[in-house]
Amino acid sequence: MHGRPQHHMAVLFVCLGNICRSPMAEGAFRAAVARHRIDCFIDSAGTAAYHIGNAPDPRAIATAAAHGIAIGDQVARQIEARDFQRFSHIIALDSANLAGINARRPRDSHAEVMLLLDWLDGHQGRGVPDPYHGNEADFLAAWQLISRATEAMASRLAYLASASASPFDYPPRSN
Ligand code: 4NP
């Protein structure tokens, strides 16, 4: 988790607690980049400090496991200043956390900060609803959005790598 990533791309997923949504995103994206054979450093963090050092929520672990992905070894941490230098992409799970990330962003950071669902057609600008106070169905709904978006992201990045375009140009901006 520490040290400077030696990869071309480094992606950090960020939610509030780093125990539900961003650990699922980290796990789903790890599986997607393996399928697409992309070289990428991957981690996740929270904007809040509540759960530092904790494993993911048991419901997140169970939901990922039901889809063949193990996330139980992850350890929650809070986003820190150097993440803005270490990561090429900082991906927020919802707009509140996007705002939290941007509020911490140093002026000299070149990281692309964006919403995860900006990668998923029809869901741009939207957040993945927080399942923490919900039930198993809410975790499944979050998983489904996260796995579709991380697959779209990996597929797009694999295409860009093969076309030797810069992944820093994506996703395409609407302005
Ligand atoms: P996450 O979910 O941001 O997806 O990890 C939450 C986890 C913990 C809390 C809120 C959301 N909390 O208030 O402790």
Q: Is 21 a catalytic residue?
A: yes
Cβ–Cβ < 8 Å for 97, 132: no
**Long-range own/partner contacts, residues 129-133 (CB < 8 A, 24 or more apart):** 129/94, 130/15, 130/16, 130/20, 130/21, 130/94, 131/20, 131/21, 131/59, 131/60, 132/16, 132/17, 132/19, 132/20, 132/57
Specify if 61 maps to a domain. Answer: yes
Residue 51 CA, ligand 1 centroid: distance in Å? 8
Ligand 1 binding pocket mutation candidate from 50, 57, 71, 130 (most atoms within 8 A of CB)? 130
Provide the domain limits for residue 52: 9-168
- The protein residue whose alpha carbon is closest to atom 6 in ligand 1 is 17
Residue 44 CA, ligand 1 centroid: distance in Å? 13
Specify if 4 maps to a domain. Answer: no
Instruction: Provide the token pair at 104.
Output: 């911490």
pLDDT (tens digit, 9 = 90+) per residue, 68-102?
999 999 999 999 999 999 999 999 999 999 999 99
Count of structural domains within the chain: 1
pLDDT (0 to 100) of residue 168: 54
Beta bridge partners of 91: 13, 114
49-53, 106-110, 161-165: segment of lowest average pLDDT = 161-165
Specify if 37 maps to a domain. Answer: yes
Beta bridge partners of 33: none
Whichever domain contains 21, its CATH number is 3.40.50.2300
Specify if 46 maps to a domain. Answer: yes
Asked if residue 120 has its Cβ within 6 Å of ligand 1, the reply is no
Query: Rounded to whole angstroms, how far apart are CA atoms 23 and 31?
Result: 13
Contacts of 148 (CB under 8 A, 6+ apart): 120
| pLDDT over 60 (residue 40) | yes
Specify if 3 maps to a domain. Answer: no
pLDDT (0 to 100) of residue 88: 95
Specify if 1 maps to a domain. Answer: no
Specify if 174 maps to a domain. Answer: no
pLDDT (tens digit, 9 = 90+) per residue, 10-39?
999 999 999 999 999 999 999 999 999 999
Beta bridge partners of 89: 11, 112
Higher pLDDT, 72 or 174: 72
- The protein residue whose alpha carbon is closest to atom 3 in ligand 1 is 16
